Amino acid sequence: MRRRLATLAVLTAALSPAAPAHAGFFPGDPIDGPSADVRSLGDLDVARDGSGAVAYLRRDGGADHVFVSRVVNGSFQPPERVDAGLDAPSAQPVVAASDGGRVVIVYINAGNAWATVWAAGAPGWSTPQQLAAGASASSPSVYMSINGVAYTTFTTGGDVRAARLDRGQTQFQLLGAPLDIDPGADAGGGNSRSRVAVSADGTALAVWGEGGHVVARRLFNLNLSAAPQDLTLPSLEDRPGGNADLPDVDIEDDSSFAWVTFRQQFTDGGRTQTRALARRLRGSRFEDATVVDGQAWGADGVDTLDVELNGRGDGLASAGLAGTGAANVAILKRDVFNPGSTVGGGEGVAPAPVGTISETLDRVVGWIQGPASTATVQARFFDDKAAASTLPVPSAPAALSNPGFGAVVPTGGLDVAANRAGDVLLVFLQENEEGRRLVAATYDRPPGAFSGNTTTRWRGYARPPLAWGQAFELWGPLTYRVEVDGVAVGETQDTKLTPLNPVADGEHRWRVVATDRRGQTAATKTRLLRVDATPPTLEFTVKRRKGRVAELSITAGDVIPPSGKASGLKTLKADFGDGTGNQLLKAKKASHRYGRGGTYTIRVSATDRAGNAVALTERVRIKRK
């Protein structure tokens, strides 16, 4: 939970009205640059609580090195070099994040795989750890569960290797044996790269290409499953199958369910066409393949492929098509992949589409579009709030690159990730005559619904303390504006405020407007505020009678002009000064018999229902007989 600041700024009634309360795309802001030293994007990941990081390559001392900017409260922090002490150039950084700010970076340096960790609550990065000595390491992948257990896979010496990072630890442990089915075959190189995903219970599923096939294997602690599975199809719709590659994988919180996507060649008459396929792991076996590229036989092949799930198993697959360069997306809903459809692209550069989905079912797909000289990043949001049987509806495309930063670098990389609330980050590179910039655009939701807490009963404060619940917002502190009768009386980042200036007695309506860092708002319902800071009116007279009896005639009221509304009298009391104590009066007349003569001070008090009180005294002389 983020820390709220207890500052208070008092405003005048001239404050501007609240901005519209709706989610939307916001174009890119620079993370690093402009500089000729910014080289290429590596990877982006965001945890469910909104923390995360982006890793990229930046030239330092004449060589490419790994820099990371962490995401804290929705803002990118100043970049930090994480391969400190390694003089050789670094490459292929990947990142994984989990709640609490825990981040893992894996990268290649001098032909070896290395890792470094920012532990939750730590002041900095751990010392880089060499994962395995070996020649020509490449293609790392890393994934961290919601509970902080991470696995990484990478290729070295023609084998796919894996290492595990336990929860709360900063050092990986290498699994003893390669993952390969056939140790003699090359595995995990180039487009046969490995990928790994980790479920909530800390078990993992790894996929990779080996000998023209795509293979999947479970990982349990430091052990390999004894039953790896070949996912490659012998044929599809009576068309013979060929080589398969581009494997990707994601897994549900429940380790029994996962989806693997891959690309495979098929012979269609005298023509070879690549198709994008998805297969679901259910328990210990994979179900039949589903085509997710949205193409027909004789149409485009597939250049890129990506799959993303949320913890419950909904998701999407994004495919970049060869030839036309279209960006296609297939929606996964209720365990079924629906046919793919085109969302953009087709204007020159390879679109390289990527997608993400939150726990709230919000999906966003981004891609690169246009000729290289004017390429932009475009994105669509898919609204999945309709009936369960209805597919999500895509928004119109939104341009997310900033025209002032130049064209998007088509080969610089594009990635996307979401927190659990549906806020999304997209990162990419733009370049102009000033140099390259690493840029982040967002799909940002407004603050969540919240309500006022202050009682609607009458209160005896001229400056009544007001309190409300916290509006849900994962990215950045909120500013709360308090309005009484439509007039702003103050701003704070706390969830309570006492107006600096008095509020007039009477009945009022108040509300609180929460504004996020993007100017989006959410407001409480208006709530009744009853203020009665004025004591009741009170007068009394004393009439003495024979027999040592004093009679009181009292005039008391609790009325606020001009409305006449006030809390009303609660009690009238009289103390006749002879030691008999306060007497609660049920009427505005009272009498008291004294036991003996003397001079006494009579005190009459009135209290209203807001707690305001007034008291008057009068001395009376009671004659002796």
φ/ψ (deg, to 5) at 63: -130, 155
Using alpha carbons, select from 595, 560, 556 the residue that is nearest to residue 576. Answer: 595
Kindly report, as residue ranges, where domains of CATH 2.60.40.10 are found in the chain.
1-22+450-532, 537-622
Average pLDDT score over the chain: 92
**SS3 of 372, please?**
helix
- Cis bond before residue 34 (omega within 30° of 0): yes
Is the pLDDT confidence value at 473 over 90? yes
pLDDT tens, position by position, 486-533: 999 999 999 999 999 999 999 999 999 999 999 999 999 999 999 999
Kindly report, as residue ranges, where domains of CATH 2.130.10.120 are found in the chain.
23-444
Q: How far apart are CA 53 and CA 480, in angstroms?
A: 28
Is the pLDDT confidence value at 12 over 50? no
**Half-sphere CA count of 146, side-chain side, radius 13 A:** 17
Predicted confidence at residue 389, as pLDDT, reads 63
pLDDT tens, position by position, 445-467: 999 999 999 999 999 999 999 99
Tell me the β-bridge partners of 198.
Answer: 204
pLDDT tens, position by position, 559-569: 876 666 789 99
**Helix, strand, coil proportions of the chain in percent (round to 5)?**
0, 55, 45
The average pLDDT across 148-161 equals: 95
**SS3 of 562, please?**
coil
* Pairing assessment for the beta strands 506-515 and 527-531 based on DSSP bridges: antiparallel
Give the CATH H-level superfamily of domain 537-622.
Immunoglobulins (2.60.40.10)
Predicted confidence at residue 22, as pLDDT, reads 57
Using alpha carbons, select from 400, 405, 399 the residue that is nearest to residue 435. Answer: 405
Is the pLDDT confidence value at 272 over 80? yes
Q: How far apart are CA 251 and CA 216, in angstroms?
A: 12
Can you spell out the DSSP letters for 159-213? EEEEEEE-TT-S--EE-SS---SSTTS-BS-GGG--EEEE-TTS-EEEEEEETTE
Can you spell out the DSSP letters for 489-528? EEEESSSEE--SSPPPSEEEEEEEEEE-TTS-EEEPPPEE
- Contacts of the segment 611-619: beta carbons below 8 A, 24+ positions apart: 611/459, 611/460, 612/460, 612/532, 612/533, 612/534, 612/535, 612/536, 612/567, 613/535, 613/536, 614/535, 614/536, 614/537, 614/538, 615/538, 616/538, 616/539, 616/540, 618/540, 618/542
Is domain 1-22+450-532 in CATH 2.60.40.10, yes or no?
yes
Give the CATH H-level superfamily of domain 23-444.
Prolyl oligopeptidase, N-terminal domain (2.130.10.120)
pLDDT tens, position by position, 408-422: 999 999 999 999 999
Q: How many residues does the chain have?
A: 625
Predicted confidence at residue 564, as pLDDT, reads 67
Q: How far apart are CA 583 and CA 607, in angstroms?
A: 14
* Cβ-contact 93, 43 below 8 angstroms: yes
**SS3 of 254, please?**
coil
Using alpha carbons, select from 125, 107, 114 the residue that is nearest to residue 69. Answer: 125
**SS3 of 101, please?**
helix
Q: How far apart are CA 507 and CA 440, in angstroms?
A: 48
Tokens of 252: 């549900």
